[in-house]
Amino acid sequence: MPRLSNKTMRRDKIVQAAGKLFAHQGYHGTSTRQIAHLAHMSENTLFRHFDDKEGLFWSTLRAHFAALDFQRDLLEKIANCEPPEVVLPKILELFADTASYSPELLRLIAVAFLEMHPKGEAFIQERLSPTLSAVSQYLEMNIKGGKIRDLDSTTVTVAFMMTALTHTEISQLIDKNKPLLNHQERNRAQARFWLDMLAPRMPAHESPVTAIGEENPG
């Protein structure tokens, strides 16, 4: 594995610090001085890596959006219209992993919409639309092929994504005393739910659903 240069590591530290502050304080409520302080460097050093605060914000948002990029194998499964019991759990896993490992993303999207309009809307449209369109088109192909229920693919895509991204937080609002599922249990539960909702006559297909997370234990 190639070793990261000091320049790349410093830039990554800046982006990580910026992501935390922009997500919790907003764009206008965050200063470059605060970002530099959290990144343990001077403000002058920060400006050697980024021209200005706005450029840093877009770089930060772009870095967080990388978590939603489909991997080549998943893109191939979608393009080949492989069975829902194989593809849908993988898409759910991607969204759920984003919520777990890039928790600032949803807040950054909100900041972009609320404080950086209209650039924010255009940026998010550019980055998020291809992913959601791919999911919707996959659902539409399976609806036409009779593999899943005849439902509006756009509505299902929205519900599908929001279930994965907000499951933990909303579950706690419903019953804060209920123990949280671990990452693998949550992914398996959501996959079973959606397969039952979209294709109730489909066999359980325990193997591909259960395999979520077991391919990469730990």
Mean pLDDT across 50-73:
91
Q: pLDDT per residue over 179-200, tens digit each?
A: 777 778 888 888 899 999 998 6
Model pTM score: 0.76
What DSSP assignment string belongs to 78-120? HHTT--HHHHHHHHHHHHHHHHHH-TTHHHHHHHHHHHSTTHH
Residue 201's pLDDT band, with cuts at 50, 70 and 90, is: low
The answer to the question of residue 217 being in a domain is no
- 144 located within any domain: yes
In this model, does residue 50 exceed pLDDT 60?
Answer: yes
Count: domains in the chain:
2
Intra-chain end-to-end CA distance of the chain, in Å: 21
The stretch 149-166 carries a mean pLDDT of 90
Residue 61: what pLDDT?
95
Q: How large a percentage of the chain has pLDDT more than 90?
A: 52
Question: Can you state the percent helix, strand and coil of the chain, rounding each to 5?
Answer: 70, 0, 30
For 54, the domain range is 6-63
Q: Long-range pairs for 196-202 at CB < 8 Å and ≥24 separation?
A: 197/149, 198/84, 198/88, 198/148, 198/149, 198/151, 198/156, 199/84, 199/85, 199/147, 199/148, 199/149, 200/149, 202/84, 202/85, 202/147
| Separation between Cα atoms, residue 49 and residue 44, nearest integer Å | 9
pLDDT confidence of residue 106: 86
Report the distance separating Cα 177 and Cα 64, nearest Å.
31
* Residue 1 located in a structural domain: no
pLDDT (tens digit per residue) in 109-157: 999 999 998 999 999 889 888 888 999 999 999 999 999 999 999 999 9
172 & 92 share domain? yes
Q: For residue 102, what are its two tokens?
A: 């890039």
Q: Are residues 191 and 89 in the same domain?
A: yes
